[in-house]
Every structure is written in C-alpha cells, then in structure tokens.
C-alpha cells in the first residue's frame, strides 16, 4: 500500500478567488463597524442622531445601504458576468472602495479601525491584482 502524503492541489478559478476576497472584505468591513458601537464617542453620536459628521436620517441610510450593496452584488457579478466585463468592473469598484476606505480612515486614532481599514485596502488591492493578471485563453 502506497502512503501518499501529498494532497491533491486543485487550481482555484480566478472568479472564485475574487468572490472570496469580496466576502473577506465585507466581513472585515462589518466587524469594524460593529465594534465601533462599543466606543463611547460613536455610541453617543448615534444616540444623538449622528454618524460622524452626518445626520442619521433616511437619506444617509439609503446611501449607506447602496454603498454596502455594491460589494455584496460584486460577489455574484464576479461569478456571472463575462470575464472582460467582470475584470473591468472589479478593478473600478475595488479601486473606488479602497479610496473611500482610506478617506474614511483619515484622522482615525483607534488602532482596530486603522488595522481593519488597512486589511480592507489590502484585500481590495488583491482583487485588482487578480483582475490585472486574469488568465487569458490561448
């Protein structure tokens, strides 16, 4: 009997890698926001009807929902769109989100938030990298 200690290494499709990166980014995104509600300054602002400098009103929550829906939809769109369309859309959306995350983290002093934002940006940059290196047909 042969004792094979090598594991079967199946290549992972680029689309699956990118969808996994969007999923990871969304989990980090969610937990950083959830942890924020244990901060006195954030909680007091929320109780006063404020989210940072913004009023916590219908318009704010509609725009916030749209902001969250886009990466959620990127999970599915990455898997079903034509490769060329998926590639371009992922590069554009990931780059825009990386910029918005850097902008939102500017001036932040809490380490968990800086760490979470840095990880989000790294995950988004990895999406861009996979899209740029997307395999082509021979």
pLDDT at 31 (0 to 100): 96
- Summarised one tens digit per residue, pLDDT across range 49-95 is 998 889 999 999 999 999 999 999 999 999 999 999 999 999 999 99
- Say if residue 61 is exposed, middle or buried (CB neighbours under 10 Å; 0-12, 13-18, 19+): exposed
**Structure tokens belonging to residue 101:** 């995350």
Mean of per-residue pLDDT scores for the chain: 94
| pTM for the whole structure | 0.90
pLDDT at 81 (0 to 100): 97
- Summarised one tens digit per residue, pLDDT across range 13-25 is 999 999 999 999 9
- Alpha carbons 10 and 22: distance in angstroms, whole number: 21
pLDDT at 92 (0 to 100): 98
pLDDT at 53 (0 to 100): 87
- Summarised one tens digit per residue, pLDDT across range 89-102 is 999 999 999 999 99
* Continuous H helices in 10-138: 14-36, 40-47, 58-80, 83-105, 111-132
């Amino acid at each position: 009997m042969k004792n094979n200690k090598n594991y079967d290494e199946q290549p992972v499709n680029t689309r699956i890698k990118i969808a996994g990166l969007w999923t990871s980014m969304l989990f980090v995104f969610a937990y950083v926001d959830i942890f924020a509600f244990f901060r006195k300054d954030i909680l007091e602002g929320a109780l006063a009807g404020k989210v940072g400098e913004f009023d916590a009103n219908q318009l704010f929550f509609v725009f916030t929902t749209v902001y969250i829906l886009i990466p959620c939809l990127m999970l599915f769109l990455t898997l079903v769109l034509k490769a060329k369309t998926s590639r371009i859309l992922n590069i554009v959306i990931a780059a825009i989100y990386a910029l918005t995350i850097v902008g939102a983290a500017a001036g932040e002093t809490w380490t968990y938030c800086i760490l979470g934002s840095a990880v989000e940006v790294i995950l988004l940059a990895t999406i861009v990298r996979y899209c740029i290196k997307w395999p082509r047909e021979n």
